[in-house]
């Protein structure tokens, strides 16, 4: 077994923290691992990335060749497009859908999300909404780790151990916020994938999972929403116009 991951984002989004959690979880799980330095303008809002590799056998290089990445884990959606050519044909993308607009010619979000939604194996999460629900917008990187956790070779407990260790010196409140961010990211990813496997396209899956109450997201409810959306695509507009909190268990309300 070998897993090659490209971590991508922009300076200030906590790519080093993502690497810390994954590196230590790999050690706890008994894997060999190598990680390249985080490269880029980490203090200036510029693009940053790192190669991370773990395996059940010795690894001789920390660099991932083009076409050999199993996963691109991105805290910023445009950064996926910078590294997509490193991805295996069957590789996965896990990304925040929330832009960090750090360049004057940043593309229109509708176009960018359309390009991302065309990836066959992708999980998109509204990291800002989920981090806000967790209690701190700075926890978006932990949301993305939680979303990626359904594809990794570690248990949630192995990952959460190092989420908690990373923030322990900042106090129990910050630990709890980042733990919740991880858990909400995982729930959102499971809900998103269940929608897609039930026949909903990536764009609709993102819209719906971003509109429902974050704490209510439950993959077991996704097939019900999928049936509702197939029969009445306008449901997404109705939820947006409802002006109230809609939970994942409320799909029957919108079937009429």
- Residue range 1-36, pLDDT digits in tens: 999 999 999 877 889 999 999 999 999 999 998 988
Residue 26 resides in a domain: yes
Residue 110: give its domain's CATH number: 3.40.920.10
Q: Is 223 exposed, middle or buried (0-12, 13-18, 19+ CB in 10 A)?
A: middle
Domain count, the chain: 1
Report residue 114's pLDDT band, with 50, 70 and 90 as the boundaries.
very high
Q: What is the pLDDT of residues 145-188, one digit of tens each?
A: 999 999 999 999 999 999 999 999 999 999 999 999 999 999 99
Lowest mean pLDDT segment, chosen from 86-90, 159-163, 233-237: 233-237
Contact 211, 242 (CB under 8 A): no
CA-nearest of 65, 57, 54, 75 to 7 is 75
Please give the radius of gyration of the chain, using alpha carbons only, rounded to the nearest integer. 18
In this structure, is residue 29 part of a structural domain? Answer: yes
- Give the pLDDT confidence of 75-84 residue by residue, as tens digits: 999 999 999 9
Residue 40 in this model has a pLDDT that exceeds 60: no
Q: What's the per-residue H, E or C state across the chain? A: CEEEEEEEEECCCCHHHHHHHHHHHHHHCCCEEEECCCEECCCCCCEEEEEEEEECCCCCCCCCCCCCEEEEEECCHHHHHHHHHHEEEEEEEEEECCCCCCCCCCCCHHHHHHHHHCCCCEEEECHHHHHHHHCCHHHHHHHHHHHHHHHCCCCHHHHHHHHHHHHHHHCHHHHHHHHHHHHHHHHHHHHHHHHHHCCCCHHHHHHHHHHCCHHHCCHHHHHHHHHHHHHCCCHHHHHHHCCCCCCHHHHHHHCC
pLDDT at 111 over 60: yes
**Pairing mode, if any, of strands 2-10 and 47-55?**
antiparallel
Through-space distance between the first and last CA atoms of the chain, rounded to whole angstroms: 48
Residue at 238 is within a domain: no
- Domain carrying residue 121: 2-185
Residue-level pLDDT at 39? 59
The CA angle 16-99-111, to the nearest 5 degrees, is: 135
Residue 215: inside a domain, yes or no?
Answer: no
Model pLDDT, residue 41 = 53
Q: What's the pLDDT at 103?
A: 84
Domain contains 235: no
Percent of the chain with pLDDT over 70: 96
Torsion of CA 70, 76, 79, 85, to 10 degrees: 20
Report phi then psi at 153, rounded to 5: -100, 35
Q: Say if 102 falls within a structural domain.
A: yes
- Does residue 42 lie within any of the structural domains? yes
The answer to the question of residue 35 being in a domain is yes
- Mean pLDDT, rounded, for 223-250: 91
| Confidence tier at 44 by pLDDT (50, 70, 90) | low
Query: How many CA atoms are closer than 13 Å to the CA of 251, on its beta-carbon side?
Result: 23
Which of the pair, 243 or 74, is modelled with greater confidence?
A: 74
In this predicted structure, the answer to whether residue 43 has a pLDDT above a threshold of 60 is no
Calpha distance 158→1 (Å, rounded) = 18
To the nearest 10 degrees (0 to 180), the angle between helices 140-148 and 172-197 is 40
Question: What pLDDT, in 10s, does the model give residues 173-228?
Answer: 999 999 999 999 999 999 999 999 999 999 999 999 999 999 999 999 999 999 99
Rounded to whole angstroms, the Cα distance separating 92 from 71 reads: 5
């Amino acid at each position: 077994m070998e897993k090659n991951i490209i971590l991508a984002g922009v300076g200030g989004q906590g790519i080093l923290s993502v690497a810390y959690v994954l590196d230590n979880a790999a050690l706890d799980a008994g894997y060999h691992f190598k990680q390249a330095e985080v490269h880029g303008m980490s203090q200036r809002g510029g693009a940053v990335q790192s190669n991370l590799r773990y395996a059940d056998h010795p690894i001789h290089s920390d660099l991932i060749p083009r076409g050999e990445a199993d996963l691109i884990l991105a805290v910023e959606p445009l950064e996926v497009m910078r590294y997509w050519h490193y991805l295996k044909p069957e590789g996965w993308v896990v990304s925040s859908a929330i832009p960090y607009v750090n360049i004057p010619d940043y593309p229109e979000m509708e176009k960018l999300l359309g390009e991302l939604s065309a990836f066959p194996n992708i999980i998109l999460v509204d990291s800002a909404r989920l981090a806000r629900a967790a209690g701190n917008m700075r926890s978006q990187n932990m949301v993305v780790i939680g979303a990626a956790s359904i594809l990794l070779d570690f248990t949630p407990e192995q990952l959460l151990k190092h989420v908690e260790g990373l923030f322990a010196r900042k106090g129990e409140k910050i630990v709890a916020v980042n733990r919740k961010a991880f858990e909400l990211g995982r729930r959102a990813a499971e809900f998103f994938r269940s929608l897609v496997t039930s026949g909903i396209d990536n764009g609709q899956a993102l819209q719906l999972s971003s509109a429902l109450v974050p704490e209510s997201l439950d993959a077991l409810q996704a097939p019900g929403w999928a049936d509702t959306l197939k029969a009445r695509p306008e449901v997404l507009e109705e939820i947006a116009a409802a002006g109230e909190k809609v939970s994942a268990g409320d799909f029957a309300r919108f079937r009429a």
